[in-house]
């Protein structure tokens, strides 16, 4: 999903959930006191998301891991070090072990193991830094991937300890991303399979 625009700033958590309940056909994220509307994405964004989901599922099945691979309809909860709460719809979520859920439908996942965000022109650098502040405080989270849809570029944040994260950068289709926490690997060539075709289609002006 891509961000569209801020609906409200200085919003309370209760206001966010009231909006989510009143607009079940739409999605919103909440962080930094802001409520942000989400919208559909371009073809290349969707193609990369589908590739990541497929690769993660294949690896999890192959390694016989007790994990669920979930789509961008799954909301997750994050919390900054100061206690500020955020709610997000990552493009892909992996939950290993027994899922912990909270709230009423649609329920919020509390213990994601892996989150993947596909970056686009509307949700790049600033959003990455904002979301990282919340993601890194989720105790269950071991890995966060930020995948660029405009170029071959992936940032892999891997938890090294309770407060320390390692960052790795990948920019070659020949590379593989190792997710050591689950003993799985993702080939960059598979993540970006068909991406150039989708990107070219996105560039074609509608008549």
* Rounded Cα distance, 29 and 149, in Å: 20
Confidence of residue 23 (pLDDT cuts 50, 70, 90): confident
**Mean pLDDT of the region 69-92:** 94
Q: What was the pLDDT predicted at 104?
A: 79
Phi/psi region, residue 64 (left: phi>0; alpha: psi -120 to 50; beta: rest), is left
With a pLDDT cut of 70, the percent of the chain lying above it is 94
**How is domain 41-203 classified at the CATH fold level?**
tt1808, chain A (3.90.1570)
Determine contact, residues 40/1, Cβ cutoff 8 Å.
yes
For 151-204, how does the pLDDT look when each residue is reduced to its tens digit (9 = 90+)? Answer: 999 999 999 998 899 999 999 999 999 999 999 999 999 999 999 999 889 888
* Token pair recorded at residue 58: 């294949």
* Token pair recorded at residue 140: 């269950």
- Give the ranges where the chain is alpha helix by DSSP (H): 13-22, 43-62, 125-135, 188-191, 195-203
- Report domain extents, the chain: 41-203
């Amino acid at each position: 999903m891509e961000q569209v625009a801020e609906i409200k700033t200085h919003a309370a958590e209760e206001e966010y959930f009231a909006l989510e309940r009143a607009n079940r056909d739409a999605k919103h994220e909440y962080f930094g006191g802001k409520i942000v509307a989400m919208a559909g994405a371009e073809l290349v964004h969707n193609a990369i998301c589908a590739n990541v989901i497929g690769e993660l599922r294949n690896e999890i099945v192959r390694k016989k891991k007790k994990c669920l691979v979930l789509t961008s309809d799954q909301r997750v909860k994050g919390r900054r070090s100061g206690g500020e709460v955020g709610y997000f719809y990552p493009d892909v979520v992996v939950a290993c072990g027994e899922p912990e859920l909270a709230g009423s439908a649609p329920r919020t996942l509390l213990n994601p193991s892996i989150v993947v965000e596909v970056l686009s022109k509307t949700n790049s650098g600033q959003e990455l830094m904002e979301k990282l502040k919340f993601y890194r405080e989720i105790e269950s989270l071991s890995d966060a991937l930020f995948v660029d849809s405009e170029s071959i570029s992936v940032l892999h944040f891997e938890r090294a300890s309770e407060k320390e994260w390692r960052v790795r950068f990948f920019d070659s289709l020949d590379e593989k991303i190792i997710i050591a926490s689950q003993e799985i690997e993702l080939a960059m060539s598979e993540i970006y399979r068909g991406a150039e075709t989708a990107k070219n289609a996105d560039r074609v002006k509608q008549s």
